[in-house]
Chains A and B, each alone.
Chain A
């Protein structure tokens, strides 16, 4: 969030690691528990809806496989963006940052399409346990992707104004940690919700 917090108090690092990076790792630990609890909720309620539509009526695995591929490719773009910024190649750094955000947006667009389609087919939050737990779990993930896209776009605009340089590579790296984490969560969700339907 802030690029200057840790250098702020001008104290040495006892571990040699930047404080902001430790913060992000600890936050990711906490997020694991958050998604873990949501996933448990989804799994506990799997097959317990007493009215349809049921997962097997709606889930479109080929479509989600495509958006999953797009999201995973965005992680590759993120790696390239960080590499470019670390080399000081801000031109490519900007391009890859924008590409990461764009692919993230494509994934989100796919999710919006999927949600709209499900609502058309008669599945809402109130329909059954599947509706509530599915929308809450994938919606929480989508909200995380949205925050990531806003973060990446902010970094992109900072870069275009010359406020993001090689010296801030750590800022990009931390955004990357978050982004990769959100992608990894999706791999778990894709497996549990779609592949194991």
Chain B
């Protein structure tokens, strides 16, 4: 079996890190790696793959809606597509793409050699990856989940959703929750405890700050949906009555538990993007971030308020005037810290010597689109207005302006900004700018008409519409825009492949960035920093004090000892997915096999020393 192979390899004295800071190759070295940069790359590749899958699902939806009374996609498949589009984009594309940046960038920004718990980090990735495959495997077993990404009870009960579709969704999300909580705990400890000398909290780069805030949101928000999912799983598998109204069960309990998670989840998606923008704008304006403490505290305040607004997703259930008023007011409050951030970015740009390179363009696009999405968000915060908009395309337009126009634009800014560090090669500016402008136009063409469609009453999650309702022209525009969005993504892929093949060498600091990740070579050596760095300011690479002058001279010390590879995180993750498969198949032997593998993995892990390579 594979594990004994690894042990044998170690006994033979094989090291995963040959001298010179390079890596061993081969599939095995990737499966057993505990290196934060490799794990970050695996997150990025799998997240981008699922971004394409979710995008394809969206394109099918748009093609179906391109003309009235279209019969290309039947209602059953349509339900699966919008459910999986939402689930995939939120849990399998945007969150892991943020996690890719957490992994690759945060340890570099705080001057650390790795995260605090490298094997736990590998475990998080493998649980995410296998869990993502698990949810999508439902397409092969009688159809994908089809009750919406919010899975409202009691549409998800066995009575209304027989079969295993919802079981895949419930168990898949439980698996992904394990991954998210493990990763978030790891990053909380890493950022609190592994900062290099001189890096006080108020000297941390904004992206690291927002990673910390997001990690706290993750560990506090995921348990709520975990409990909701467990209640639903018990209802479906063991016949409990939690969401059975005839037995006194309350279907609103699901909505509360889901949105106590679901609204913080919005900020889990958004805050890393805000952090990236706060990194990139100063570098391309040649100015330190304006009002750094305000930007930090606004991020914390957004996260804090984010826990107190969940019921604004539930205005239409009739919680009563007092609850609606309180949640309306709390929701409006969030506009304040968000506005503070936007003003700080504009003030950073103001009077800066701007370099309009692709990363900055995406940031500017982000600010503009995010303001539009924010404004429609403030419209929703008013309960009476929201009642008109609930379940219409207006909400679809809003969510895409914040999550696509906001978060995805910022993630692309981050990709263009950090890919030179990750690959050591520059991306093409020409293709990058083409990508940006096409995406900006296509995005607005796709989603702006949806505001108007929504105000005219077009409902969400309905597989078609009648011809005489006046929806045709705007739906056709939206569909054309979505195809252009797909084309703009192809330009990015082409740019990326071209970069990997023949991109110009990036050098350590191609953008003249100010944070520690730019002080080491691109791509970084596996140990990151040969000696622990020390910082004396927020922008150490811009500091006039020459004691911060980097790159650090090569000292006499040898290579730092790095943690050795391990099979156990992967094995434990496989055990979890086996257990889940046993749950779907209702097969007790498979469940026990899964538990056995988990126990084997955990004990092997606990008793395997971290530096177990023979020297």
Name the residue of chain B whose CB is nearest to the CB of A8: B610
Asked if A12 is at the interface (CB within 8 A of a chain B CB), the reply is yes
Asked if B609 is at the interface (CB within 8 A of a chain A CB), the reply is yes
Contacts of A197 in B (CB 8 A): none
Asked if B375 is at the interface (CB within 8 A of a chain A CB), the reply is no
B220 touches A4 (CB 8 A): no
A126 touches B238 (CB 8 A): yes
B247 touches A26 (CB 8 A): no
Contacts of B610 in A (CB 8 A): 2, 4-5, 7-8
Contacts of B117 in A (CB 8 A): 2, 5-6, 19, 23
A29 touches B192 (CB 8 A): no
A137 to B299, CA, bound (A): 34
Asked if B120 is at the interface (CB within 8 A of a chain A CB), the reply is yes
Asked if B118 is at the interface (CB within 8 A of a chain A CB), the reply is yes
| Among A41-49, A70-78, A93-101, A105-113, the stretch in contact with B | A41-49
Name the residue of chain A whose CB is nearest to the CB of B114: A9
Please give the distance in Å from B162's CB to the nearest CB on chain A.
18
* Contacting residue for B192 out of A22, A44, A133, CB 8 A: A22
A1 touches B606 (CB 8 A): yes
Residues of A within 8 A of B (CB): 1-15, 17, 19, 22-23, 26-27, 29-31, 33-34, 36-38, 41, 44-45, 48-50, 125-126, 128-129, 131-133, 136, 154
Given contacts A9-B113, A30-B181, contact A2 B224 (CB under 8 A): no
B116 touches A129 (CB 8 A): no
Asked if B85 is at the interface (CB within 8 A of a chain A CB), the reply is no
Name the residue of chain A whose CB is nearest to the CB of B226: A34
Contacts of B339 in A (CB 8 A): none
Interface of chain B, main secondary structure: helix
Given contacts A9-B563, A129-B242, contact A41 B223 (CB under 8 A): no
Asked if B112 is at the interface (CB within 8 A of a chain A CB), the reply is yes
B193 touches A17 (CB 8 A): yes
A171 to B224, CA, bound (A): 29
Asked if B538 is at the interface (CB within 8 A of a chain A CB), the reply is no
Asked if B41 is at the interface (CB within 8 A of a chain A CB), the reply is no
Please give the distance in Å from A168's CB to the nearest CB on chain B.
12
A128 touches B185 (CB 8 A): no
Residues of B within 8 A of A (CB): 112-114, 116-120, 181, 185-186, 188-189, 192-197, 199, 219-224, 226-228, 230-231, 234, 238-242, 247-250, 253, 257, 260, 532, 560-563, 602-603, 605-606, 608-611
A22 touches B189 (CB 8 A): yes
B239 touches A125 (CB 8 A): yes
Contacts of A3 in B (CB 8 A): 606
A136 to B253, CA, bound (A): 16
A128 touches B247 (CB 8 A): yes
Given contacts A9-B118, A129-B248, contact A34 B609 (CB under 8 A): no
B219 touches A23 (CB 8 A): no
In the A-B complex, the 9 residue pairs with the smallest Cβ-Cβ separation, listed nearest first, are: A132-B240, A8-B610, A37-B227, A34-B223, A33-B223, A30-B219, A126-B239, A14-B195, A48-B248
Contacts of B227 in A (CB 8 A): 34, 37-38, 41
Max chain B C-beta neighbours (<10 A), residue from A37, A44, A128: A37
* Contacting residue for A23 out of B189, B194, B257, CB 8 A: B189
Q: List 29 A-B contacts (CB under 8 A).
A: A1-B605, A2-B119, A2-B608, A4-B609, A5-B118, A8-B114, A8-B611, A9-B194, A11-B112, A11-B113, A11-B194, A12-B532, A14-B196, A15-B193, A19-B194, A22-B192, A23-B117, A26-B185, A26-B188, A27-B219, A30-B222, A33-B219, A41-B227, A41-B257, A49-B248, A125-B240, A126-B238, A128-B241, A129-B249
Contacts of B195 in A (CB 8 A): 14
A22 touches B113 (CB 8 A): no
Query: In the complex, given contacts A45-B248, A50-B248, A128-B248, what are 5 additional A-B residue pairs having Cβ atoms less than 8 angstroms apart?
Result: A4-B611, A9-B113, A11-B194, A11-B532, A19-B193
* Contacting residue for B234 out of A1, A11, A13, A136, CB 8 A: A136
Contacts of B253 in A (CB 8 A): 41, 44
Name the residue of chain B whose CB is nearest to the CB of A37: B227
A126 to B240, CA, bound (A): 5
A19 to B181, CA, bound (A): 16
Please give the distance in Å from B591's CB to the nearest CB on chain A.
15
B606 touches A14 (CB 8 A): no
Contacts of B242 in A (CB 8 A): 41, 45, 129, 132-133
Name the residue of chain A whose CB is nearest to the CB of B215: A26
A29 to B217, CA, bound (A): 11
Contacts of B112 in A (CB 8 A): 9, 11
Given contacts A14-B193, A41-B227, contact A30 B248 (CB under 8 A): no
A23 to B222, CA, bound (A): 17
* Contacting residue for A6 out of B116, B248, B561, CB 8 A: B116
A48 to B192, CA, bound (A): 45
A44 to B118, CA, bound (A): 41
Given contacts A5-B117, A30-B181, A132-B241, contact A15 B192 (CB under 8 A): yes
A19 touches B116 (CB 8 A): yes
Please give the distance in Å from A39's CB to the nearest CB on chain B.
10
A7 to B189, CA, bound (A): 13
Max chain B C-beta neighbours (<10 A), residue from A5, A11, A50: A11
Contacts of A50 in B (CB 8 A): 247-248
B116 touches A23 (CB 8 A): yes
Name the residue of chain A whose CB is nearest to the CB of B200: A14
